[in-house]
Amino acid sequence: MKRSLTRQERLRGASLIQEVLSSGQKVGCPGAKLLFRENGLTYNRVVFIPTRKVRTAVERNRTRRLGKEAFRQVKQGVKAGYDLAFILYPGEFTYEERFQQISSLLGKAGLLQEHSEGSG
């Protein structure tokens, strides 16, 4: 599996995103929220949505980039078959803080795979 976010792993299309936002399960933490639902596919699709309070394009793009990079680092350990929408709130969050938020949300949602112990 590639570690980068491939084209098929991006959740695109207003109708698909709206379905996740309206009917997905929700978990939250300070600075971010995760909405997710099963998609019936063998891979995950993900979108990062800064809120409207993130004012400038520069801030929105940076917020989105930090979220994507944090997810990219943990995506190998995420259960497959879900559409994920991360709502990112404004703040002076560092990469490490965004990484903690993304990991925490995935853990709360029960989407992280269990590591098999003693295999080898």
Q: What is the mean pLDDT of the chain?
A: 90
Tokens of 20: 């996740």
Q: What is the pLDDT of residue 116?
A: 44
Residue 108's pLDDT band (cuts 50, 70, 90): very high
Q: What's the pTM value of the predicted model, to 2 decimals? A: 0.89
120 pLDDT higher than 50: no
- Alpha-carbon distance values, 33 to 21, 25, 85, 95, 105 (Å): 11, 11, 8, 16, 7
Name the residue with tokens 């009917």: 23
In 1-120, beta strands by DSSP E: 25-29, 32-38, 45-50, 82-88
CATH fold of the domain at 29-108 = Ribosomal Protein S5; domain 2 (3.30.230)
In the chain, domain spans:
29-108
**Residue 11, CA atoms < 13 Å, CB-side half-sphere:** 28
Residue 2's pLDDT band (cuts 50, 70, 90): low
